[in-house]
Copies of this chain bind each other. A is one copy, B any other.
């Protein structure tokens, strides 16, 4: 990977894209969407190479399915790009402004970050999603996908680059790293001066490696050890409903829950109701002794490690707690700061939980599965930040921007 060449090309594309108007950017996005559909056959042909290789390498069926592109999925990618075109342009927004005592007018104005690097894993649709979000927010991007999807990603990137050029913007607004070696990822992590931010999208291993090794500023995304706390005053059916939804509607995603905490005063009544719902999906329960005393032998004893684990599976840890405070302490100890929920009818419990729990999204009486850019009304999302710097929670295109101060005077000196 020639990082200097790609970096310099991205920087120079970013300077043009950064001051491009919304109309031009939307024209490019429309061209991208149309080009994806027009070139569906060649993209699917490239995808077939990836699928053949995957099969030879013995990839699991579930992963093969994520890798597979069909005409419908490509149409879905094109629709995603059109949805990004329809979003309001964040660039140029005047965030705040004032006149200083000496007459200088100060404005803080939203500007693109510049060049965004994204390292992602198997799914090829990320290529078009990420490219579209970056382009709309005025950022050039350097994308590096997984080796499993390299033929698909290259075909998609080629199509998108041509479309961007046809709209009069530099093709280098979108660049894909063709080298999928570990070394190329490490090189991206050292592209200070070229990359303004690096966003890893994928499993915990990838994210950890990027956080540990990158000298470029990173936005940490995704890992979610999420909790539901069932307060003593909870509506039992609501609690069971929320827990069932948050655990089983899609167990493999980061906003699914991994542990429930149940107040001792309601445990006897609530746990059997919750268990009955979870039995529908054969959810394995790993519980504390008090959980086992109520639910019986089906409960596997929970270890400390269970409470710290993002199962991403039909497994749920369960602990009976003496108080709201104990629940809050448990969450402070084990949570990854993604999403937590309290089910309660009590005003003061709701207040205390939302004030004291320090996670990106804190829910009262609704499912943690809503932690998502689309569900929050931000439009498509580039990821869910679990760090506190820059962006926290679902990141839409506004989170792909920075700001600058513009100061107008008539000769002021200090």
Which residue numbers of A lie inside 8 Å of B, CB to CB? Answer: 15, 18-19, 98, 100, 104, 106, 111, 113-114, 192, 196-197, 211-212, 215, 217-219, 235, 238, 241-242, 244-246, 249, 332, 350, 354-356, 358-367, 369-371, 375-377, 387-390, 392-393, 402-414
Contact = CB atoms under 8 A, between A and B. Distances in A.
Given A196-B389, A332-B15, A413 B367 contact: yes
26 contacts: A15-B356, A100-B376, A196-B387, A196-B388, A197-B388, A211-B215, A217-B218, A217-B389, A235-B411, A242-B411, A245-B413, A245-B414, A246-B413, A249-B414, A362-B404, A362-B405, A362-B407, A365-B409, A365-B411, A366-B408, A366-B413, A367-B412, A371-B405, A389-B402, A392-B403, A393-B404
A329 to B, nearest CB: 9
A249 B413 CA distance: 10
A212 B211 contact: no
Contacts of A414: 245, 249, 367, 369-370, 375
Nearest to A101: B377
A238 B413 CA distance: 10
B364 A407 contact: yes
B192 A413 contact: no
B404 A358 contact: yes
Contact of A217 (B19, B362, B376, B387): B387
A241 B411 CA distance: 8
A400 to B, nearest CB: 10
Q: How many identical subunits does the complex contain? A: 2
A413 B228 CA distance: 13
A359 B403 CA distance: 9
Contacts of A370: 104, 407, 412, 414
Q: Which 3 A-B pairs have the closest CB atoms?
A: A366-B409, A245-B413, A388-B402
A238 to B, nearest CB: 5
A249 B244 CA distance: 66
A405 B387 contact: no
Contacts of A242: 411, 413
A377 B410 CA distance: 19
Contacts of A192: 211
B245 A389 contact: no
Contact of A197 (B106, B356, B389): B389
Given A15-B358, A249-B414, A389-B390, 15 more contacts: A100-B375, A100-B377, A113-B389, A114-B388, A196-B387, A217-B217, A354-B406, A364-B408, A364-B409, A365-B410, A389-B402, A392-B402, A392-B404, A393-B403, A393-B405
Contacts of A114: 358, 388
A113 B215 CA distance: 21
A405 B376 contact: yes
Contact of A361 (B356, B359, B377, B405): B405
B369 A413 contact: yes
Contacts of A365: 408-412
Contacts of A111: 358
A101 to B, nearest CB: 9
Contacts of A113: 388-389
A212 B193 CA distance: 12
A221 B390 CA distance: 15
A18 B412 CA distance: 40
A254 B4 CA distance: 28
Contacts of A377: 98, 100, 106
Counting chain B CB atoms within 10 Å of each CB, the highest count among A19, A217, A238, A407 belongs to A407
Contacts of A363: 407-409
A361 B407 contact: yes
Contacts of A411: 235, 238, 241-242, 365-366
Contacts of A245: 413-414
